[in-house]
C-alpha cells in the first residue's frame, strides 16, 4: 500500500485517496477520538490540527491523512467535500470558517461540531451560503467515553447535508440507527445540544446536593460510594452521571483533595439566557449555573455586602480579612 | 397440595406453612407487586390488607397466604417473625405499629417499607424496642417497574436485622447482589431514600425545563420525542427518567390533555427541610419542590401582590378576574 | 430674537421662546408627568407626541409648546438643543433617533430617557456621533409618583452633556441636590436603572412571599394590612414597596378579584442576562423573574412533563383536562 | 407601701417602687437598649442579667433597679407582674421559663421578646398556663437603632395581655400609635417577626446581588456609594436597608477587608421551613438563605462532586488542593 503522510507538501499522485471526501479540523480531546472512531469503522479521512505533530501522530495511529494546512486538507479531498470543525467555539472557529470560505466551492459542506452558540450557526450558515457552501451544525455528546461507546450527535442543516452526513453519523454514533438525529434547520443541532447541557447542569447539581446531604449527615456514617452503586440498580435516579459518581465515590468518598471550584461553559450560560429570552421558567438550570459561579468566588462581593448590612442594622460582628 | 385461603379464620393445621416467617402488610401499588415478586422467587409469605379482597386476590394469584387481620397474620407466622409494612406513612403506619406491638414478641422484627420520615423511624424503633421488638426501616425505589426489574432497597437497622432480611433483599432486588444495601442504623434507610427522592425531584425538573425550552422554540419545530430517544444513546443525560420521557413524548409530544399540576410528596419536602436543618445549600432540590407548589396554584397570592405593587408604583394595569 | 412656529398652536409671535432649548418627545405616563413637573419648576419646553391631542392638552395645561412633528420640535428649539425621548424602548425609539439624526446638528444633545437596554445606548451614541450629535441615556425611576415626589434619575454621557442637563435634573429630582446622578459614560445610566429594576424584582418577590405565608397561615387569622402598616415604623424591611403594599392591603387583604398574573419587562430580563454574562450569581433576581414567567403560565409544559414522569415511574394519577 | 430588696444596689427604702410591675431579663444589645428607651420615656423597671455588672451599669445609667437573680426580680415587682425575657432563643430562654414558673403566680404575665420559634411559644404558653401564668410572645425589630428610632414590635397573646402591655408598647415603639401591633394569639407575634426576617433575607440578597453586578461591571467604573445614595431619593427600591448600604458603601465601596461570610439565624431558617410546611413557594427567601449557607463553605462538598463529575465524563481538569 502506498501512502505518504507528508503527501500534502508534495504534488505526488495519491490514488487511494481519490474517494476521500471528509476532512476533520481540530484534534483535541473530542476531535482526536472521533478520528479514531471513524478509523475503527473503516473510514479514511483527512486531518488538520493547529499543531501538526498531533495530526501526524493520530494519522500514524489511524491511517488517516495528516494535512499541514487547511488548504492542504481541502486539496486532499474530492469534491463535494465535507469539512468538519472540532475547534473551540469563538475565535478559532470564526477564523477557520473565514479561511475555508475561499478554499471551498459550491456543493461543499462545512460542519461545525464544536460547542457553538446556535445563533452563531445561523450567522455562519449565511456567511458560507454567500460562497455557495452548505453548512450544518452538530452537537456532539459523549465526552471521553465516545471513542468506546459512540457519540450522541444531534445536527441541524438541510436535508441534502443530512443525507451526506449519514454514513459518518452511523459510524460515530453508538449504533448505526441509534444516537444520531437530524434535528431540523441550521442551528437546531447546537440548540438541542445546548439544552442537553443545561439539563446536564441541573442533573449534576441535584446529584451533588443529595450526596452532600448524605456525606454531612451526623450519626449515620453513610457510605456514599456504596449508595451511589446501590442506586444504579433499579432506582428512579439511575443515570450515567450516577454511574460516574459511583466510580469516583467508591475510590474517594471524602473528596478532600479536590478544590470546590466548578468551571462553567458557554452552553450552560446559553441555556440560561435562552430561558430568559423565551420567557420560560428554568429555575433549576439557572440555579445550577449560578452555584458554579458561586463556587468560583463570584458571589463574594454580595456576601460582603450582606455581612455589612447585618452589621449596619443589628450590630452583628463581621469576619475580618483573616481568611 | 393443601392450602386454604380462609385458613386464618379457622383452627385447621396448615403444615406447609410451618416455616413461614415473613408477613407483608399493605398491598397497594408497591406492596402488591413486592408480594408478586417474592412469589416469583419461590418465597411464600403471609399477606394482610385493609380490604381483604385485595389480599385474597393476590393470594390466589401468588400462592401466598391471605390473613384477614394483623392478629391472624402474626399467628400465621413462625417466630422469630418479620412483619413488613407497606402502608401510607403517617396515621396508617402509626396505627399498625401500635396494633403490632402487643401481638409480636421478643425477637420479632418489624420493617417499615413505606416512604416514612426517618425521624419517625427513630421514634418507632424506640417504641418497638420497649416491647423487645426489633425495627428496621426500608426505602424502596422502583415504582411500578419493580415487579419486573427488581426494587432498589436501602434499609437501616441492626446487623441482626440485616442478616435476617438478606434473603428477601436478594429476591426483591434486581439481582441477588445488586440493588440493596444495609445503609446503617435505624432511620438511615429512609434517610437515604428521602435524599434519593430529593435528587429525583431535581433531575425531573431539569429534564422538564429542558424539554419545555425545546418544545416552545420557534422556528426549529423540534421533535421532542425523537430527541429524548436520541439522548438515550451515548449522551451525558441518559437516565431512566429520560427513558420514561422518551416513551410518553413519542406518543404525545404536545401533552395538551395533561393538566399542569404536579403533586408533591413527603420525601421531597423532607429533603428540603433537611438541607435547611443541616445548613447545606440545596437550591435545585428546593426549587424543584417549590415549582411543584407553584403548579398547584400555591403561589397565586404572591403573584396577586406583585400585580398590585406594580400597579401601585407604576400605574401598570392588572388583569382582573376574567380568568 | 423673533421666531415663529407655524407648527404650533398659535400664529402669534412668541418672543419668550427665544431661549427654549429643551424638547420632550413622548408624553405617556412618565413623559407627561415629567413635562408637568418641569412646568411647575418654571421651565418651558417644547413637546411632541405621536398623538397631537395629547401634546396639545398638556401644552394647554402647562404652558409648554406643543409641536406636531419632530421637525417642528427641532425648529422650535434654539441650538444647541436638548431632545429628550420618553418613548417605548425598541422600535419607537429607534425610529425617532433615525428621524432626529438629519434634523439635529453638531452640538445638539439627544437623551433617551426610556427603559432602554444599555447595549442599545452604546450603539445609538455611535449612530448619533456620526452626525456630530451628543447622546446621553437616562434611567428614570419614580413611576406615577414622580410628579409629586420628584424622579430619581441616573444618566450616562459626557461631562459636557451632564453640565447641560443639570438644570433639568435639579427640577425633575426630589430636590436640586438629591435624586439625580451622572453615573458615568454612555450606557451607564440605563445600566444602573436596569440593575435598580432587578433589585426591585427581588424585593417585590420577597415581600410577596412573606405576605403569602402570613395570609395562608391557619389559626392566626393575621391582618396583613395592619402588619404591613406596622412594619413601616421601625422595622428592618421598611421601604417604599412596603408603603405601597400597606395601602392596598389595608383596603383589600384577600386580593380575590386580582388575577395571579405578573407581567415582566425588559429590565428584569436584562438584569438576569447581565448576571449570566458577568458570571456573577444573582439567584434572587433571576428567580423573581422566573416566578413571573410561571405566573404567566409559561411553566405549564414543564409541569405537564413532571406529571407524566410521575405517572411513568410510579403510576401516580395525573389530572386531566378538566381545568 | 414599704419594700426592701436586699438584692439591689442599695439598702435604702425604695418607696417609689411600689408600682413597679415590669421586669426585663437579658440586657444584651437589644435588651439593654430597650431598658434605656423605657427609662427615657419615664418608666422604671427591674432588670436582671446573667452578669450582674451589666445590670448594675444599666441601672446606674437609667435609674432602673438591678436585681441579682430572677427571684429577686420577681420579688421586686408588684403583682400582677410582667416579666419580659430578652434572652437567646433556646436553652437560655427555656431555663428562664422553668425558673420563673414556680416564682410567678396567677395573673402574672411572661413575655418572650427574643427571636423564638413560634412553635416553641405555643409549647411555652401551655407550660406557663399550667401555673396560671399568662404568656405572650413579642417579635422586636429595629436592631441597634431601636433606642433612638423606637422598636417595631409585633406580639401575640390574649386580649388581657395586650391591654397590660400597651403602655410599654407605646414607649418602645417609634410613636405611641405606630410601630406596635397585637397580631393575634400566642405564637403569632414571633410568626410575624419570623416572616419579617425572611423578607429581610430576600431584600438584602436582592440589594447585594445588584450592587455586585454594578461593582463588577467593566468599563463604567460605577460609584456604588453614590448610586446607593441616589436611590434613596425617589426610587422604587428606597428602603432602610438601602439607607444603611449607602452609609457603608460611601466609606468603603470595595469592601476588600470584609470576609465573604454571612451568618444565618433561626428566623431565616424557620421561614424557609414554614414555606415548605405550608406548601407555599418562597423561592427568593429560600435562596437567600442558601446563598448564606454557600458563603459559609457549606456547598463545598457538592462543588467537589461537580468537579469530579466533569472530570469523569469530559476529562476536564479539576483544581487541586492548592487553595
In tens, the pLDDT along A260-292 reads 999 998 999 999 999 999 999 999 999 999 999
- Given an 8 Å threshold on Cβ–Cβ distance, is D143 in contact with A314? yes
Q: Say if C320 falls within a structural domain.
A: no
**Residue among B149, B235, B291 minimizing CB distance to A234:** B149
d(CA C188, CA C195): 10
Nearest-neighbour CA in chain A from D224: distance (Å)? 11
- Domain of C116? 2-185
Instruction: Based on the fold, state whether residues D155 and D260 are members of the same structural domain.
Output: no
Same domain, A86 and A205: no
* CA A138 to each of CA A85, A106, B220, D190: distance values in angstroms, whole numbers, following the listed order: 10, 21, 14, 57
Cell 410568626 belongs to which residue?
Answer: D191
Cα(D103)–Cα(D101) distance, rounded to whole angstroms? Answer: 6
What is the rounded CA–CA span in Å between residue B224 and residue B246?
8
Q: Are residues D124 and D46 in the same domain?
A: yes
Which pLDDT does position D9 carry in this prediction?
A: 41
Touching A (3+ Cβ pairs <8 A), the chains are: B, C, D
**Rounded CA gap, B187 and B192, in Å?**
9
Give D196→chain B minimum CA distance, Å.
15
A7: confidence class by pLDDT, cuts 50, 70, 90: very low
Comparing alpha-carbon positions, the chain A residue that sits nearest to D262 is: A307
Alpha helices in B253-299 (DSSP H): 266-278, 283-295
Partner B contacted by C218 (CB < 8 A): no
Q: Do B67 and B106 have their domain in common? A: yes
CA C27 to CA C46: how far, in whole Å? 11
The verdict on D280 touching B (C-beta cutoff 8 Å) is yes
A203 close to C (CB below 8 A): no
Q: From the list C195, C223, C238, which residue is nearest D213 (CB)?
A: C195
Contact B157, B183 (CB under 8 A): no
**Domain-located, residue D322:** no
| Residues of chain C neighbouring D222 (CB-CB closer than 8 A) | 183-184, 188, 191-192
- Domain membership flag for residue D58: yes
List chain C residues with pLDDT less than 50. Answer: 1-17, 321-323
The CA-based dihedral angle spanning residues B27, B29, B32, B36, taken in that order and rounded to the nearest 10 degrees: -170
How sure is the predictor about A236, in pLDDT bands with cuts at 50, 70 and 90? very high
Residue C111: inside a domain:
yes
Distance CA A230, CA A235 (A): 8
For residue A320, what pLDDT is reported? Answer: 58
Q: What pLDDT, in 10s, does the model give residues A139-152? A: 999 888 899 999 99
Chain C residue with minimum CA distance to B143: C314
- Where does a domain end: C185, C220, C235? C185
pLDDT per residue of chain B (323 residues) written in tens, 0 to 9: 333 333 333 333 344 445 799 999 999 999 999 999 999 999 999 999 999 999 999 999 999 999 999 999 999 999 999 999 999 989 999 999 999 999 999 999 999 999 999 999 999 999 999 999 999 999 999 888 899 999 999 999 999 999 999 999 999 999 999 999 999 999 999 999 999 999 999 999 999 999 999 999 999 999 999 999 999 999 999 999 999 999 999 999 999 999 999 999 899 999 999 999 999 999 999 999 999 999 999 999 999 999 999 999 888 777 754 43
| Subunits adjacent to chain B (3 or more Cβ pairs under 8 Å) | A, C, D
Judge if pTM exceeds 0.80.
Answer: yes
Q: Mark which of C129, C151, C185 sits at the end of a domain.
A: C185
Q: Are residues C180 and C210 in the same domain?
A: no
Residue D318 lies inside a defined structural domain of this protein: no
Q: SS3 for D152?
A: strand
Are residues D200 and D136 part of one domain? no
Residue B1's pLDDT is: 32
Has residue B267 been placed in a domain? yes
Residue C8: inside a domain, yes or no? yes
Same domain, A137 and A285: no
In the prediction, which pLDDT does B320 show? 58
Is D162 inside a domain boundary? Answer: yes
Ordered DSSP codes for B199-248:
HHHHHHHHHHHHHHHHHH-TTT---HHHHHHHHTTT-TT-BHHHHHHHHH
* End position of a domain, from candidates A185, A217, A249: A185
C277 touches chain A (CB under 8 A): yes
Produce one character per residue of C142-177: b if its CB has 16 or more CB atoms within 10 Å, e if not. Answer: bbbbbbebbbbbbbbbbeebbebbeebbbbbbbeee
ipTM summary value: 0.92
pLDDT in tens, chain D (323 residues): 333 333 344 433 344 445 799 999 999 999 999 999 999 999 999 999 999 999 999 999 999 999 999 999 999 999 999 999 999 989 999 999 999 999 999 999 999 999 999 999 999 999 999 999 999 999 999 888 899 999 999 999 999 999 999 999 999 999 999 999 999 999 999 999 999 999 999 999 999 999 999 999 999 999 999 999 999 999 999 999 999 999 999 999 999 999 999 999 899 999 999 999 999 999 999 999 999 999 999 999 999 999 999 999 888 877 754 43
Q: How high is the pLDDT of residue C320?
A: 58
Per-residue pLDDT, B321:
47
Contact status of D243 with chain C (Cβ, < 8 Å): no
Give chain D's domain count: 2
Give the max Cα distance, chain C.
Answer: 86
Question: What is the distance of C-alpha B191 from the center of its chain?
Answer: 13
3-state DSSP call for residue C188?
A: helix
pLDDT for residue A142: 84
Three-state SS for B138?
Answer: strand
Q: Which three cell numbers stand for residue D311?
A: 472530570
**Which CATH number covers residue C18?**
3.40.50.720
Q: From the candidates A21, A193, A267, A274, which is the catalytic residue?
A: A193
Please check whether residue A273 touches C, CB under 8 A: yes
On whether both A211 and A122 belong to a single domain, the answer is: no
Q: State the nearest Cα–Cα gap between A283 and chain C, in angstroms.
A: 6
Same domain, B111 and B17: yes
With 0-12 CB in 10 A as exposed, 13-18 as middle and 19+ as buried, what is D170? middle
- Tell me, yes or no, if A79 comes closer than 8 A to chain B by beta carbon: no
Q: Which residue(s) pair with C239 in the sheet?
A: D239
Same domain, B30 and B111: yes
**Rounded to the nearest 5 degrees, what angle is found at the Cα of A272, between the Cα atoms of A270 and A278?**
95
Task: Tell me which chains share at least 3 CB pairs under 8 Å with chain C.
Answer: A, B, D
Query: Contacts by B66-71 with C-beta closer than 8 Å and gap 24+?
Result: B66/B5, B66/B8, B67/B8, B67/B23, B68/B8, B68/B9, B69/B8, B70/B25, B70/B96, B70/B99, B70/B100, B70/B103, B71/B103
Residues 6+ apart with CB under 8 A from A10: A4
Contact B66, B50 (CB under 8 A): no
- CATH number (domain holding residue C244): 1.10.1040.10
All 3 cell numbers of residue A257? Answer: 483533595
For A2, A207, A284, B185, the CA distances from A244, given in Å and listed in that order, are 44, 11, 21, 27
- C213 and C127 within one domain: no
**What's the grid cell of residue C180?**
439625580
Would you call C302 and B318 a contact, using CB atoms and an 8 Å cutoff? Answer: no
Question: Which residues, other chains included, contact D254 with Cβ-Cβ below 8 Å and sequence gap of 6+?
Answer: D215
The number of helix segments (H) and strand segments (E) in chain C equals 13, 8
Q: Is the pLDDT of residue A322 over 50?
A: no
Which pLDDT tens digit goes with each residue over B95-129?
Answer: 999 999 999 999 999 999 999 999 999 999 999 99
Q: How many CB atoms lie within 10 A of CB B310?
A: 23
What integer is the mean pLDDT of A76-91? 95
Given an 8 Å threshold on Cβ–Cβ distance, is C312 in contact with B287? no
A242 with A96, same domain? no
Q: Does A291 touch chain C (CB under 8 A)?
A: yes
Amino acid at each position: 500500500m502506498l501512502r505518504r503522510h507528508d503527501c500534502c507538501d508534495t504534488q505526488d499522485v495519491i490514488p487511494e485517496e481519490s474517494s476521500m471526501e471528509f476532512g476533520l479540523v481540530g484534534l483535541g480531546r473530542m476531535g482526536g477520538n472521533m478520528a479514531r472512531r471513524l478509523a475503527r469503522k473503516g473510514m479514511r479521512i483527512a486531518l488538520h490540527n493547529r499543531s501538526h505533530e498531533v495530526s501526524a501522530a493520530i494519522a500514524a495511529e489511524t491511517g488517516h491523512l495528516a494535512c499541514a494546512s487547511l488548504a492542504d486538507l481541502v486539496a486532499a479531498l474530492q469534491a463535494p467535500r465535507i469539512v468538519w470543525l472540532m475547534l473551540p467555539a469563538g475565535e478559532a472557529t470564526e477564523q477557520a470558517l473565514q479561511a475555508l470560505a475561499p478554499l471551498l466551492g459550491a456543493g461543499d459542506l462545512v460542519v461545525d461540531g464544536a460547542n457553538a452558540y446556535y445563533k452563531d450557526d445561523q450567522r455562519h450558515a449565511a456567511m458560507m451560503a454567500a460562497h455557495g457552501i452548505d453548512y450544518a451544525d452538530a452537537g456532539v455528546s459523549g465526552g471521553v467515553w465516545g471513542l468506546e461507546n459512540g457519540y450522541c450527535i444531534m445536527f441541524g442543516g438541510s436535508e441534502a447535508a443530512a443525507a451526506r452526513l449519514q454514513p459518518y453519523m452511523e459510524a460515530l454514533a453508538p449504533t448505526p440507527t441509534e444516537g444520531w438525529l437530524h434535528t431540523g434547520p441550521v442551528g437546531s443541532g447546537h440548540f438541542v445540544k445546548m439544552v442537553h447541557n443545561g439539563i446536564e447542569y441541573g442533573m449534576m447539581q441535584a446529584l451533588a446536593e443529595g450526596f452532600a446531604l448524605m456525606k454531612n449527615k451526623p450519626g449515620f456514617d453513610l457510605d456514599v460510594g456504596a449508595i451511589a452503586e446501590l442506586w444504579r440498580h433499579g432506582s428512579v435516579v439511575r443515570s450515567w452521571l450516577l454511574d460516574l459518581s459511583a466510580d469516583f465515590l467508591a475510590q474517594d468518598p471524602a473528596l478532600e483533595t479536590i478544590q470546590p471550584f466548578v468551571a462553567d461553559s458557554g452552553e450552560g450560560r446559553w441555556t440560561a439566557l435562552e430561558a430568559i429570552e423565551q420567557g420560560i421558567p428554568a429555575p433549576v438550570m439557572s440555579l445550577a449555573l449560578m452555584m458554579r459561579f458561586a463556587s468560583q468566588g463570584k458571589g463574594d462581593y454580595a456576601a460582603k455586602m450582606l455581612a455589612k448590612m447585618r452589621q449596619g442594622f443589628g450590630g452583628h460582628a463581621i469576619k475580618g480579612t483573616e481568611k
